[in-house]
Structure 1
């Protein structure tokens, strides 16, 4: 928030919680879920967005209806008549969109895979101005319901955390989306730090902070403390690649280390020098991800088979 806006916001919450901590906490959650404008700010962001839009220009487009209401948007590359091949899901971070993930999506499509890139509600081409973890997980479930099971899923920042939550089936009433492999780029390992930081930023007292955090349980059926993906990463029994930069100023590298300690199935790759945003389009990162996804495990006999053998193998099953 801009300095003046923050001062006004803090003053407003100071007055509101003195009257009703309950109302203050609920208003804080609504504010927390408001998504930023989808219009890129600054010349650099505008160029990156325009380049991404151009790269996705020929992709098929779909609207995804979320259970309980809301819409997401999806792009599909190498779909339809091109036949069955490895199917990958790509998810973006908070305030981002599939356009900013276009380098990754097109790189994966160039391997012959069918690639689905999702715009969460309030982002990119998706309608709305609100998003929370429950809505993101429902968007992921809607993508699987529309396109079929995914062989792998790759997510950046908030989008990576949402993939882990979806893979674990943490949301009551929402089916788990559990690909054979997961890649998380610059992703937080738990969400409580965000709520604590936001509450401190706007000056919430403890009673209002409790209400603020309890709103998570109301909309997702889970307490905010339960969204601890570093534990989930090991529990899902799937290969997970964590890609992170130690110079990431938005999501601390400590989150990557927590993931890495979650289990033997989790591998950590440092992509230092690329920060939090440039990491999604850095060529060394794209090479690392495509290499990790180059082979998948056959469900039938647990042998490792090359990605490009998938269509023929699946037809024989």
Structure 2
């Protein structure tokens, strides 16, 4: 059952949609950018973090300064004596953190890659309580200055949107991030998709959602349309998506493939939006694509 506070917010947004949608859109955008407090973690999230405690001790931890604060980057190196095949940047999604990317990180490290995993602003061990697409891309930029160029960038969900914008250089005054390949897992291809679940929860109407997207466009300098960005950035790209994803529709994966022949699609049947991260078959597919051992065909 929704809390009394949530019911009040939903009622307010419902009325304001018809009175002042632009003002409502700005207010909703600010709420959206507010990241969850660590005390709000669910029991399942806490257990996942606890299970990854030993795994996290294997990393070297670097606190890097961005334009809006400091972010934590976790560096996982290959086994001693093994030459690195290159460096892979891993970017998690909204309300996520490096611990949840463990299966992918281990798969790349076992294949001889050095893995740099970024905790986005307001997430994991990074500072702050606010996250925007711009601050996220800026954090990726800083990681690139310290650890790049990257053999590949791997992003899940919102992290995939961050990766696509970073390599396309689509954010005003933030240079393009150098990478050899791109892997997008359950990634949205537009801002409305990012806002969709949040808007449904708070009863934010369509006109207010449009105002939210306009707000981001004014900050970023251009709209986020992933297929167009990849079309202008012919980087070998693997899109991994589950047809049953209820958070980011499979249609977004299909949109990415329209960017050109440099984009390949792999359907991860039955893995939803979050289980996909723990699937070893998905991890093997992602590693194989970056290593050039396989080139999955469009499905």
Same fold (TM over 0.5): yes
In the aligned structure 2, how far is the partner of 1:90 from the partner of 1:78? 13
How far 1:192 sits from its partner (Å)? 2.2
| Further displaced range: 251-260 or 287-296 | 287-296
Match in the other structure for 1:277: 274
Match in the other structure for 2:264: 267
Match in the other structure for 1:253: 250
Contact 1:234 1:266 in 2 (8 A): no
1:148 pairs with 2:162: no
Q: CA RMSD in A?
A: 2.6
Contact 1:77 1:109 in 2 (8 A): yes
1:78 pairs with 2:77: yes
3-state SS, counterpart of residue 231 of structure 1 = helix
1:132 pairs with 2:136: no
User: 5+ unaligned residues in a row in structure 1: which ranges?
Assistant: 297-317
3-state SS, counterpart of residue 13 of structure 1 = helix
In the aligned structure 2, how far is the partner of 1:18 from the partner of 1:202? 15
Structure 1 pair 265–133 and aligned structure 2 pair: CA distance change class (3 A): same
In the aligned structure 1, how far is the partner of 2:227 from the partner of 2:49? 31
Match in the other structure for 1:185: 185
In the aligned structure 1, how far is the partner of 2:148 from the partner of 2:63? 15
Q: Please list, as runs of the form range in 1=range in 2, the aligned pairs for 1:58-207 lying within 5 A after superposition.
A: 58-67=58-67, 69-78=68-77, 85-195=85-195, 198-199=198-199, 201-204=201-204
Q: Please list, as runs of the form range in 1=range in 2, the aligned pairs for 1:289-304 lying within 5 A after superposition.
A: 289-295=286-292
Match in the other structure for 1:12: 12
Structure 1 pair 20–249 and aligned structure 2 pair: CA distance change class (3 A): closer
Structure 1 pair 44–182 and aligned structure 2 pair: CA distance change class (3 A): same
Q: TM-score, normalised to structure 2's length?
A: 0.87
Structure 1 pair 150–36 and aligned structure 2 pair: CA distance change class (3 A): same
User: 5+ unaligned residues in a row in structure 2: which ranges?
Assistant: 294-299
Contact 1:40 1:46 in 2 (8 A): no
